[in-house]
Amino acid sequence: MITDIESATPALCRLQLGSELRRLRLAAGLKGSQVVKRLLWSPSKLTRLETGENTTVEQADVMALCELYGADAETRTHLMGYAAVTKTRKDWWQSPEYRPVIKPVFKAFLGLEATASALHNYEAEFVPGLLQTEAYVRTIHRDAHRGMPEEDVNRLVAVRMARQEALRERRPPLRFTAIINEAVLLRRVGSAELMREQLTHIVELAEALPNVRVQVVPFRAGRHPGMNGSFAILHFPEGAALKSIVYLENLADAWVGRQPSDVERYEEAFTDLQALAPGPEESLDMIKKAIEEH
């Protein structure tokens, strides 16, 4: 349970609140169907509360559940505090500037990323989003969304730049471990100058920020566990009572996986990739060599 509610993000409060409410329900020996029947709620209302999907949470709803579950006074105070944060503060991606270009699944991912303590990311084709320069982001989106108004492209770029604040501005900062396929270093996105700036940016971040670790899977490694595609694994603080999740995306859709068996498979793949790739120092040397080749 989070003790410093004042500094917690609304996303973290929603997720923590949902996790705690589900724990209380199970401890009370109640099924979801029993709860909604007693409170005259729709099943989806309880589901949204327990999964943290609501943008805001009504304190009256939290109090009703606490009464039903027999929660003690201290727990009630904490849960009411979480609900209050969701009503008085907004997450950055909820602003009118960003909302038009953020799809629902990605919005869910942003909420999870904002609460995560660590992110493990394997990228097969692109520079990881948290390490991209503005010029690289803009070029990718113009190619991927041909015909999109420039205003919306600017919004997408702004979303990516805002996400990167997690590496520098958050306290504590997000611990980010990126493993990149060597092809990403050599495939030219935009001009040669753009690629030199992008790769230099990766090196500078990895050397300057102790919470950023970068490794490269070289071609000489041959077959490897990341050949099925890119993926990200989010890990959460122990106090958040949230289990790790996997995030996958492609041209048409995105997917957040919570099943322990799925998460375990991707965690094993990431561990194998870490062992297969050269260490951070040698990997940065590979990136510096690629800068010269561009």
Q: What is the CATH number of the domain that holds 65?
A: 1.10.260.40
Tally of domains within the chain: 2
Q: Which of 249, 259, 244 is nearest to 128 (CA)?
A: 249
Q: What is the CATH number of the domain that holds 116?
A: 3.30.870
Verify that 76 and 115 share a domain, yes or no.
no
What the block records as the tokens of 61 is: 């709803």
Verify that 107 and 223 share a domain, yes or no.
yes
Q: What is the mean pLDDT of the chain?
A: 90
Q: Which of 172, 171, 170, 20 is nearest to 81 (CA)?
A: 20
Picking from 30, 64, 90, the residue at the C-terminal end of a domain is 90
Give yes or no for residue 63 having a pLDDT over 90: yes
Verify that 128 and 42 share a domain, yes or no.
no
* CA dihedral of residues 275, 204, 199, 114 (deg, nearest 10): 70
Q: Which of 72, 79, 166, 76 is nearest to 116 (CA)?
A: 166
Verify that 131 and 236 share a domain, yes or no.
yes
Question: What's the pLDDT band for 109 if we cut at 50, 70, 90?
Answer: confident
Verify that 41 and 15 share a domain, yes or no.
yes
CA distance 107 to 11: 10
Structural domain containing residue 66: 5-90
Verify that 103 and 46 share a domain, yes or no.
no
Give all strands of the β-sheet with 254-257 in edge-to-edge order. 212-217, 175-181, 118-123, 231-235, 245-249, 254-257
Q: What percent of the chain has pLDDT over 90?
A: 65
Instruction: Determine the pLDDT at residue 1.
Output: 55
Verify that 241 and 285 share a domain, yes or no.
yes
Picking from 29, 61, 90, the residue at the C-terminal end of a domain is 90
Q: Which of 275, 255, 291, 292 is nearest to 127 (CA)?
A: 291
Residue pLDDT, tens place only, 259-273: 999 999 999 999 999
Residue pLDDT, tens place only, 160-190: 999 999 999 887 899 999 999 999 999 999 9
Q: Which of 22, 10, 108 is nearest to 57 (CA)?
A: 10
Q: Which of 207, 9, 31 is nearest to 111 (CA)?
A: 9
Give yes or no for residue 247 having a pLDDT over 80: yes
Question: Please, are residues 1 and 82 in contact by the beta-carbon 8 Å criterion?
Answer: no
Give yes or no for residue 8 having a pLDDT over 70: no
Picking from 90, 116, 151, the residue at the C-terminal end of a domain is 90
Residue 175 dihedral angles phi and psi, to the nearest 5°: -85, 115
Verify that 56 and 176 share a domain, yes or no.
no
Mean pLDDT of 105-122: 88
Predicted structure pTM score: 0.79
Verify that 143 and 272 share a domain, yes or no.
yes
Residue bearing the bigger pLDDT, 21 or 169: 21
Verify that 79 and 165 share a domain, yes or no.
no
Instruction: Determine the pLDDT at residue 207.
Output: 97
Instruction: Determine the pLDDT at residue 99.
Output: 83
